[in-house]
Structure 1
Amino acid sequence: MRRFLLTVYKTFVSTEKNSYRSLKNNILQFDYKVTLVCLTTALVLTCTHYFGDFRFLVSILLDLGFNGLAIKLQRLMLMHPDSGLFQALYWASVIVFFYLALPAICIKWIFRENFIEYGAGFEGALRYYRLYIWMLIVMVPLVYYFSATESFIKMYPFYKVSPGDSLFPKFLVWELFYFLQFVALEFFFRGFMLHGTKHRFGFYSIFFMMVPYCMIHFGKPMPETIAAIIAGVILGYMSLKSRNIWLGVFVHCSVALMMDVSALIRQGVFESQAVAVWLFG
């Protein structure tokens, strides 16, 4: 623990020195980069909130006069036998598009920087794997405990599976899209927001990023929202130090899979023995 705290302190000192140097050299210049990161973040969160509900897109199509397309989309989302899957895939696709597209435009064509500078590189991705393993170990009993609560069972998984329904291929397709949106989420928060502001805020860019990350969990069970604060700080620190997002993606996907499987077991979709067969063959 002492060694870890010392490492955190060294990271703090290093990032603060870099941010102080950047501020000193550009004290009389307008920081357009931080401004654009903030504006893009606000725009991305707004778009995902509204477009994440397919009914908003339906209303826009109707306003634009695309009545036929709006009706087809609404029928697909509400009347099709796989409407539940389509709604879940639509939501995940909206998250992936906005979390990736707008930040990518800023990085590539406005900032003219490399995605590697925003945590997309793989170099050093496994350097701090022990901390991530400990995070998973801590999460296992917590997920098991909270999976018994009513709010958890109602929330997860986002794609609802009825008892007796086959998990293949629909649930597998959903999980793949679910994992992809975690890649987009980590890139947006622990990549774009964090590394896009560290030159100005230094170590405090972690907490700058953590606030909206916590807020996107509003509406979920309160313990999960509280956990998002802690996870946001830890994953932010690890991204700041390792300069990549990939172990954060791994933790997110692993915990999400545990949560979905736990919820399905609690809901009686399949027994624990069936889970082992499905996961491990």
Structure 2
Amino acid sequence: MISILHDLRLNQLAEIMQSIIDDPVNGQLYMLTYWAAVAIFFYLIVPVGIILFVFKEKLSDYGLSSKGALQDYPLYLGMLVFMIPLVIYFSGSASFLERYPFYEVAQGENLFPKFFIWEIIYFIQFVALEFFFRGFILHGTKQRFGFYAIFVMVIPYCMIHFGKPMAETIAAIIAGTVLGFFSLKSKSIWLGVMIHCSVALTMDLSALFRKGGF
């Protein structure tokens, strides 16, 4: 009896979730928000819990320190000067336009509010992503591997880009290495967060422009 009730509750939950996703007005935003929430949970919430309650260490030791985070802002500007023209150039490729932006703006749809809501959620997801790779993994392994902890981190970081446009996957290896170096140097992930969000916004706006979104 307990098993049957359990199955019924799961089926009801699945039906509720499916009805939310199938919402003709907001379904796309709900689905993307669900994806981002799962990423935030596993990339941020779980590692934070491990650091605080299992390792019993400070989050600032894993890249969440704001001290000295902006001291290398010229490097941030330099990376943007290098990356943004490349993003604009590759945004014309078919594989790029098929994937970006994640939130597909319908013909005649205003960017406000849903596209802007999605971009805010997207940016929070990047905070979680940077923390997991350039914080939790990198600073969690640097005592054992030293500088080579960057490459330990870059391998899984590259793997999450499998299936994306080839240029983006290759760029992830280079960017992951550079951002890993920045994080080791400054002991902070925030420079990487700013770079990631700036490039992602440029990618979405470039794709929208090419699709005639504004």
Q: Please, what TM-score do these two structures have when normalized by structure 1?
A: 0.72
- What is the distance in 2 between the residues matched to 1:98 and 1:73? 20
Point out where structure 2 has 5 or more consecutive residues left out of the alignment: 1-5
Q: Secondary structure at the match of 1:166?
A: coil
Superposed CA deviations along residues 22-72 of structure 1, whole A, max 9, x for unmatched, are: xxxxxxxxxxxxxxxxxxxxxxxxxxxxxxxxxxxxxxxx95742222111
Q: Which residue of 186, 207, 212 maps to 2:130?
A: 186
- What is the distance in 2 between the residues matched to 1:64 and 1:110? 35
Q: Secondary structure at the match of 1:237?
A: helix
When Rg is computed on C-alpha atoms for both structures, the one with the higher figure is: 1
Aligned to 1:228: 172
What is the one-letter code of the residue matched to 1:217?
Answer: H
How far residue 169 of structure 1 moved from its aligned partner, in angstroms, is 0.8
What is the one-letter code of the residue matched to 1:96?
Answer: I
Aligned residues: 209
Q: Relative to structure 1, is the Cα distance of residues 233 and 70 closer, same or farther in structure 2, using a 3 angstrom cutoff?
A: same
Q: Secondary structure at the match of 2:38?
A: helix
1:267 and 2:211 equivalent?
yes
- Give structure 1 regions of 4+ aligned residues with deviation exceeding 6 angstroms: none
Q: Which residue of 69, 75, 79 maps to 2:19?
A: 75
Q: Secondary structure at the match of 1:219?
A: coil
How far residue 78 of structure 1 moved from its aligned partner, in angstroms, is 2.1
Q: Which residue of 114, 120, 132 maps to 2:58?
A: 114
Q: Where in structure 2 are the equivalents of 1:1-281 lying within 5 Å?
A: 65-270=9-214
The worse-fitting range, judged by mean Cα deviation, of 85-94 and 221-230 is 85-94
- What is the distance in 2 between the residues matched to 1:232 and 1:135? 12
What is the one-letter code of the residue matched to 1:202?
Answer: G
- What is the distance in 1 between the residues matched to 2:98 and 2:77? 28
- What is the distance in 2 between the residues matched to 1:254 and 1:232? 15
What is the one-letter code of the residue matched to 1:252?
Answer: H
- What is the distance in 2 between the residues matched to 1:166 and 1:149? 25
- What is the distance in 1 between the residues matched to 2:139 and 2:25? 43
Q: Secondary structure at the match of 2:82?
A: helix
What is the one-letter code of the residue matched to 2:205?
Answer: V
Aligned to 2:3: none
